[in-house]
Structure 1
């Protein structure tokens, strides 16, 4: 078994970050890696049910708000040992080793503690079952050279609240109210609880030993006395089931599986192994393999087969308290990889957006637009979930949060819908949810754009781009900036795809779809016009600006681009200043375009808009924006790695390495404490596959346009294109593609030398010296 991530000592200052790094999930339940024996810290027990949000009213900075937040469930893992029931285990570790095993999707620890005069060695294994969406299992195997004749075991099931993130406490706090505790003499404990809105959750726990034990005490804290087993190893197991329903607590307790631990473990591993092997990218160097495995495991354990059929999006920090467990645009960075390996999982994410299409239409109407206007932050319904205020910890001030103006999320959802169609070729997507989403988002862009007669072009005003450092012009009363380059270009892209979508369909199917959405020829003609006449802000010749007026902002001191300072927006606000006033970006909006779209598509889009392509291939624009990035967004390095792949491979590789270390190399007080950065993890997989190996699905086939850094070495991976699995290998300047054994279809490959039809049994080879 492999140790994908290993810590060989205990560090209380870093414990909460490690708990997040080693979080286990099956796409339904998510469990932080808190230590069962440390009831009083420094860790933070967290157990979450995917998509189970509370939106009870809160008073924040004098405002009433109902902001959805993922609920921290009662902590189920607590264990402790005692000789006399007076002095319980006080962890002062004599040795300590903790590892995350991505190959098996489990966490193991081995640690030593002293109980009286007895030295105990404890081997711990935990898993969140990939085979059973309700099940968490914890196992201790305790050995002792000179064991005590008897000892006491304490097992706890303790209510908790949402208190991980101090600056969010006004929005968070206690969310669950306990209705019922119950327990049995056989080691079962259960809790039934509810939210203010009435939703209920039931948690049942069974603690068992390989030696007789008599239990005492209430459900929340059971204590039992047991003899040391003759075999020399004391085995303690906790099995937890969680369901969000009205089932009685004792009924769920009766459903706890009784199979041996190894059987439960084998079922979990058996369910995990197939997707793991199908999606794993194999590299020659362990220095790259382990962080890439770590990234893949977290993506695969967040969006799973157990997620299918459930109303779940792609959480920015996994199913944890980071960003309140809400859904932003982060699936944009996961979709390319998911669609090319597990299209059914990508389809389930798109269905989350489709179920909220009605609410997005209502939001558009309320804002004075047509079509569908998706919210920047989502939870259970389709309403905007951006908090009205942000707390700035350096000053202690509450500041208005205007990031709900990130209208660009509609283009991201349309991008995902189109990409899923390209990867699968499933025309039912175009006549169904993907087509409806793309057309309704395009309709919104066309109605949002205003014709500016002085320019002879359409403009999009009062928005915020992905770079959240600029929420308004200096001194402006109203939030928003005008003609954000990313927003305008992706609006044009969406309008083009909407029109192309209708052309792609048979005439009868296109007419039926237009009829269903009440789309008439005059509206489609307007889309064509807007798609050709959207305004783009240029700061210099060949340099597409961040937004209109960005070049008029102040030049920042060079030291602000260094990391030896507090977070820049917090630091400036505490000084009475603002990032709005400076030519600085948290993440590069313009370079995000180069990350998402291939170079030829950027050129075609600019030509469609009547703008000349950059005379130097975009290098001047890239340098301009790189000189103004603080990289304080976890997405920034992934975006830069992708954007630079066809411009400057050496710099792209540097960004790629930093992206791999986003969480693993983060500080103990970093944002990783709140949950891992899933989009950055998925972004590394995407950069390697879509940019470095150049594998992109398109209408005319699978495109192969590699740009491979020399440092990458040999690469082997599998991917799907339109129902066929392909095996891809890069080695010493040669790209080799063949259909996997058992394939029945053909795949058209499009490359720099032309086109080749790949048939079962054949291998395509391309040399890239």
Structure 2
């Protein structure tokens, strides 16, 4: 089959294009400054009716992590992804053709684009929050938001961990009355990892010091990979690759890998990691004036390089145990230290790093709650054994997801965007509920799954629309999801008129007020 490519060259104010790479300036589209980029690209698409199979960007490659990054209105834009979202076709670069041929490069991009959800660069506010939700990994038991490992909760980043069924009520005094709300609880953050160089401040996510950033969720394997090219204030440069994966088999566990490489210096590097139980529920801006501290820390114990943090929810009295282990097999002569605060377990390793050498730090995490665990949660967590290393966890995840995709994958042709979104939705539904986990849980699918705190994580009756997906792919799972409803029928019928929204006990929990400003 003869392929029909469209060749583009993108400048600050126009797109030059042609069906022939030798006459690239044959046609032009001028950007309309009054339109957003997507609107401009849609208008460009509408300018011609020729059938094409692939778009080839001829701009030279000027970035490391992705090829088709071009400045537009003083911002680096991933034009490859933007054009794919509009044209629903593979977008490649001339460099790809030079490395193989047009057909091979097109096929490779088609495969990559339909199995990956990528975000290039640093975003802010609700846009970044939304991307973190989209890149959540999980296994039906917990959801781990797709944040940078170095991030703490702020207006631009929100690391959070949610376990199905862990709700708690808090009262907020407003105008002489207590307004009670029940929330899906943000559990202690055990995924925090960052570094410092030669005694400097610990690195934080700040675009002033990040040359490039790429977050890539591999839907085929369940692995989320974030790559950062960092230039510190003193000019030192590092490459950091961080990976996270949820265990679908031993659903209490997840695994992290933090790889750090000094690019233009040798020096002392300190890696720090935490279990932070000081976290609150602050994902939704309009709820931030309401009470949000759900956790009480009971104990932190250190056993060599393992740490166990015990906590409970303040009202529902759900016991929580989080145990972590760390490993750094290719770091020579590290100095290990721990420094626990009242509600934060804090560990560091310090070592001498050599230029261009990559150092791997791995962290293994298990979470138990008294909802699904018959024995004391501390005992259960301490008895849990981890896989040998991150590589083993990644390989197991790939095998488990392959089994899932053998059941769930629906292949379509002619529209790579539709194919990606279909797989992304299947991935998200499996994160929200999975037979292996839900057989042990008294929980169903919340309105946001386990990705964030919108609607307070509550479970609405329209979850029943989700059952069509689960019946098709995992009919045994549906029994456990419907048992959640069956076990709450009596409580629901007592307040039938308003019982559209439920959480832990089955009673209706439609909010008395949804805007705290009305009560201030």
TM-score by length of 2: 0.69
C-alpha spacing 1:39/1:65, structure 2 compared with 1 (3 Å):
closer
- Which of 96, 106, 109 lines up with 2:223 in the alignment? 106
- SS of the equivalent of 1:10 reads coil
Kindly state the Cα deviation for residue 38 of structure 1 after the two structures are TM-superposed.
2.9
Looking at structure 1, the residues matched to 303 and 231 of structure 2 have their Cα atoms a distance apart, in angstroms, of: 31
Kindly state the Cα deviation for residue 27 of structure 1 after the two structures are TM-superposed.
0.5
The 4+ residue runs of structure 1 with deviation greater than 4 A are 248-251
- SS of the equivalent of 1:337 reads helix
Aligned length: 387
Q: Choose 1 or 2 for highest CA Rg.
A: 1
- SS of the equivalent of 1:330 reads helix
Which 10-residue stretch deviates more, 52-61 or 346-355? 52-61
The structure that is helix-richer by fraction is: 1
Q: What's the counterpart of residue 316 of structure 1?
A: 447
Deviations 1:294-315 (A, max 9, x none): 1111012111122224111110
Looking at structure 2, the residues matched to 150 and 391 of structure 1 have their Cα atoms a distance apart, in angstroms, of: 50
The structure that is strand-richer by fraction is: 2
Q: What's the counterpart of residue 280 of structure 2?
A: 161
Q: What's the counterpart of residue 38 of structure 1?
A: 151
- SS of the equivalent of 1:67 reads strand
Kindly state the Cα deviation for residue 57 of structure 1 after the two structures are TM-superposed.
3.7
Q: What's the counterpart of residue 448 of structure 1?
A: none
Q: What's the counterpart of residue 395 of structure 2?
A: 266
Which 10-residue stretch deviates more, 242-251 or 255-264? 242-251
Matched, 1:79 2:178: no
Residue pairs, 1:179-218, within 5 angstroms: 179-186=298-305, 188-197=306-315, 198-210=317-329, 211=331, 212-218=333-339
Are the counterparts in 2 of residues 60 and 389 from structure 1 also a CA contact under 8 Å?
no
- Which of 228, 238, 261 lines up with 1:120 in the alignment? 238
Looking at structure 2, the residues matched to 172 and 333 of structure 1 have their Cα atoms a distance apart, in angstroms, of: 32
Are the counterparts in 2 of residues 239 and 256 from structure 1 also a CA contact under 8 Å?
no
- Which of 167, 177, 181 lines up with 1:63 in the alignment? 177
Deviations 1:638-678 (A, max 9, x none): xxxxxxxxxxxxxxxxxxxxxxxxxxxxxxxxxxxxxxxxx
- SS of the equivalent of 2:311 reads strand
Deviations 1:594-639 (A, max 9, x none): xxxxxxxxxxxxxxxxxxxxxxxxxxxxxxxxxxxxxxxxxxxxxx
Kindly state the Cα deviation for residue 144 of structure 1 after the two structures are TM-superposed.
3.1
Looking at structure 1, the residues matched to 422 and 284 of structure 2 have their Cα atoms a distance apart, in angstroms, of: 28
- Greater RCO (CA < 8 Å, at least 6 residues apart): 2
C-alpha spacing 1:84/1:207, structure 2 compared with 1 (3 Å):
same
Are the counterparts in 1 of residues 253 and 364 from structure 2 also a CA contact under 8 Å?
yes
Residue pairs, 1:263-342, within 5 angstroms: 263-284=392-413, 285-305=415-435, 306-319=437-450, 320-342=452-474
Deviations 1:384-418 (A, max 9, x none): 111111207xxx3259xxxxxxxxxxxxxxxxxxx
Are the counterparts in 1 of residues 212 and 228 from structure 2 also a CA contact under 8 Å?
yes
Looking at structure 2, the residues matched to 44 and 295 of structure 1 have their Cα atoms a distance apart, in angstroms, of: 22
Looking at structure 2, the residues matched to 207 and 43 of structure 1 have their Cα atoms a distance apart, in angstroms, of: 24
Looking at structure 2, the residues matched to 334 and 40 of structure 1 have their Cα atoms a distance apart, in angstroms, of: 31
C-alpha spacing 1:378/1:260, structure 2 compared with 1 (3 Å):
same
Looking at structure 2, the residues matched to 397 and 40 of structure 1 have their Cα atoms a distance apart, in angstroms, of: 26
Q: What's the counterpart of residue 390 of structure 1?
A: 514
Looking at structure 2, the residues matched to 260 and 230 of structure 1 have their Cα atoms a distance apart, in angstroms, of: 25
Looking at structure 2, the residues matched to 224 and 73 of structure 1 have their Cα atoms a distance apart, in angstroms, of: 25
- SS of the equivalent of 2:391 reads helix
Deviations 1:487-517 (A, max 9, x none): xxxxxxxxxxxxxxxxxxxxxxxxxxxxxxx
Deviations 1:426-479 (A, max 9, x none): xxxxxxxxxxxxxxxxxxxxxxxxxxxxxxxxxxxxxxxxxxxxxxxxxxxxxx
- SS of the equivalent of 1:390 reads coil
- Which of 354, 362, 384 lines up with 2:486 in the alignment? 354
Q: What's the counterpart of residue 19 of structure 1?
A: 132
Kindly state the Cα deviation for residue 343 of structure 1 after the two structures are TM-superposed.
1.1
Are the counterparts in 2 of residues 315 and 327 from structure 1 also a CA contact under 8 Å?
yes
Deviations 1:33-91 (A, max 9, x none): 12122336430111111111112444355433543211101111111212233332244
Kindly state the Cα deviation for residue 111 of structure 1 after the two structures are TM-superposed.
1.2
Kindly state the Cα deviation for residue 251 of structure 1 after the two structures are TM-superposed.
6.8
Q: What's the counterpart of residue 6 of structure 2?
A: none
Looking at structure 2, the residues matched to 386 and 218 of structure 1 have their Cα atoms a distance apart, in angstroms, of: 43
Kindly state the Cα deviation for residue 146 of structure 1 after the two structures are TM-superposed.
4.3
Residue pairs, 1:574-593, within 5 angstroms: none
Are the counterparts in 2 of residues 67 and 386 from structure 1 also a CA contact under 8 Å?
no
Q: Give the gaps of 5 or more residues in structure 1.
A: 365-372, 400-769
